[in-house]
C-alpha cells in the first residue's frame, strides 16, 4: 500500500473511529489518567501505555488494541461503553495489517 493511500485510509476510516471511541480518554492530555496510554499520534501508539505498545505494525495478532476492542480478555475491554462493530474491528485490523500508517504532522 502506498503512503498516499495509507494516509487517506487513516484519515477517512481510522482517525474518525479513534476520535469517536478513544480520544476522550486516551488523548495525550488525558493519558496520565488512562494507563499512560495515548492513541492520538504514531509515537504514542507505538510506545503504548502501562501494558506496552498497543499497536505492532503489520502484526494484528500482537496488537493490544485489537485484543481490547475484540473483548476477548475480560480485563481488557475497550471502549468501556460497548464493543465496536465488526466493521470497525475489521478496519482496525486492516490498518494494523497494512503497517498502521499514521501521517506525521510534526
96/62 Cα distance (integer angstroms): 10
From residue 71, give the alpha-carbon distance in Å to each of 32, 47, 55: 23, 22, 16
Q: What are the backbone angles phi and psi of residue 42, rounded to the nearest 5°? A: -60, -45
SS3 content of the chain, % helix, strand, coil (to 5): 50, 5, 45
pLDDT at 41: 83
Name residue 76's beta-bridge partners.
73
Cβ atoms of 29 and 37 within 8 Å: the answer is no
The whole-model pTM stands at 0.89
Does the pLDDT of residue 103 top 80, yes or no? yes
Q: What is the pLDDT of residues 14-68, one digit of tens each?
A: 999 999 998 888 877 876 767 788 788 888 888 888 888 889 999 999 999 999 9
Amino acid at each position: 500500500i502506498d503512503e498516499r493511500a495509507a494516509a487517506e485510509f487513516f484519515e477517512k476510516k481510522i482517525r474518525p473511529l479513534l476520535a469517536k471511541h478513544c480520544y476522550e480518554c486516551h488523548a495525550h492530555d488525558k493519558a496520565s489518567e488512562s494507563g499512560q496510554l495515548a492513541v492520538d499520534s504514531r509515537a504514542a501508539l507505538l510506545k503504548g501505555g502501562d501494558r506496552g505498545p498497543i499497536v505492532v505494525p503489520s502484526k494484528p495478532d500482537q496488537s493490544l488494541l485489537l485484543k481490547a476492542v475484540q473483548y476477548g480478555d475480560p480485563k481488557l475491554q475497550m471502549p468501556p461503553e460497548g464493543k465496536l462493530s465488526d466493521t470497525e474491528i475489521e478496519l482496525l485490523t486492516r490498518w494494523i495489517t497494512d503497517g498502521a500508517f499514521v501521517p506525521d504532522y510534526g
